[in-house]
Amino acid sequence: MNILVSNDDGIFALGIRALANVLADAGHTVTVVCPDRERSATGHGLTLHRPLRVNQVEEVFNPAVVAWACSGTPSDCVKLALDAVLPSPPDFVVSGINHGANLGTDVLYSGTVSAAMEGVLEGIPAIAMSLTSFAAKNFQPAADFALKLVTQLEAQPLSLPILLNVNVPPVDATKIQPPVVTRQGVRRYFDQFEKRIDPRGKTYYWLAGEVMEEGDTEILSPPQTQQTLLEKEIYKVGNQFMTDVQAIKKNHITITPLQSNLAAYTALEFIHSWQQQNL
């Protein structure tokens, strides 16, 4: 298959090298188009006010991999690859392997997830891969699982416009628990802006954040007769599936399906009634 690989950690990151090489070694045609430097936490940002530059990179990946470094964001990279670099659409977009977790609400900021979502927006199946530690260096288990998942999806394609957000625990391969399908959890951060002075005497700020709270998404109270069918189904799903945050703590590989549609369907009727009464 033809696979487009991108990331947000940059062209020289260990994670993307492990991912692209494993896929190429398995016989897939792999093209890498990723940022020329680290672009973490850029979300779905696009470059609109300056040109994008792309240069071919050699001697970093398996010789069978064609690699390009782009001056833009992860979303820029995938857009550029699909519209200008690749001669035809790929069969898959695989983003990662990110150096650090993309769990819970991390996905709202993640360049790794956004690169994969760009594929979904173009109708291409996509996977976002992350190793849940900044200190860990062994990306091989995550790369091996990415290959296994691509093989699975080739045989049983996704029929919905979703991406699979995969997080792999940073433990020895023998200690990794079986993969589980999860729902999105919550990670809240304590944000701290450190005030500094540059050599010219001007003030600047450096953002540092630590995880303050991890847990479930807000699940509705037990179904009542007045609740909608959708609300009842959400409650049932909440009981059936762990969150990605819960499962990763138990050393499971987590697979969380994500979509681009952020509409809060369970709130539509309430907002509509509020609007009718107050506006």
To which residue do tokens 């860990």 refer? 136
Peptide bond into 97 cis (omega under 30): yes
d(CA 203, CA 195): 7
Antiparallel, parallel or unpaired: β 163-168 and 126-131 = parallel
Q: Give kind and range of the element (H or E) at residue 87.
A: none
pLDDT given at position 263: 86
CB 79 within 8 A of CB 120: no
- In order of 194, 218, 220, 268, the CA distances from 272 in angstroms are 43, 22, 19, 6
**pLDDT of 220 strictly over 80:** no
Sorted by sequence, the CB contacts under 8 Å of residue 212 that are 6+ apart come out as: 188, 189, 190
- Amino acid type, 276: Q
How many residues are present in the chain? 279
pLDDT given at position 17: 98
**pLDDT of 156 strictly over 70:** yes
Could you tell me which residue, 195 or 92, shows the higher pLDDT?
A: 92
What is the reported pTM? 0.89
To which residue do tokens 């360049």 refer? 111
Q: What is the pLDDT of residues 239-250, one digit of tens each?
A: 788 999 999 999
d(CA 180, CA 254): 5
pLDDT given at position 206: 80
d(CA 28, CA 5): 11
Q: What is the pLDDT of residues 161-219, one digit of tens each?
A: 999 999 999 999 999 999 999 999 887 766 678 889 999 999 988 877 666 555 555 55
Domains, the chain, ordered by start? 2-182+251-258 (3.40.1210.10)
CA atoms within 13 A on the CB side of 129: 28
d(CA 246, CA 86): 39
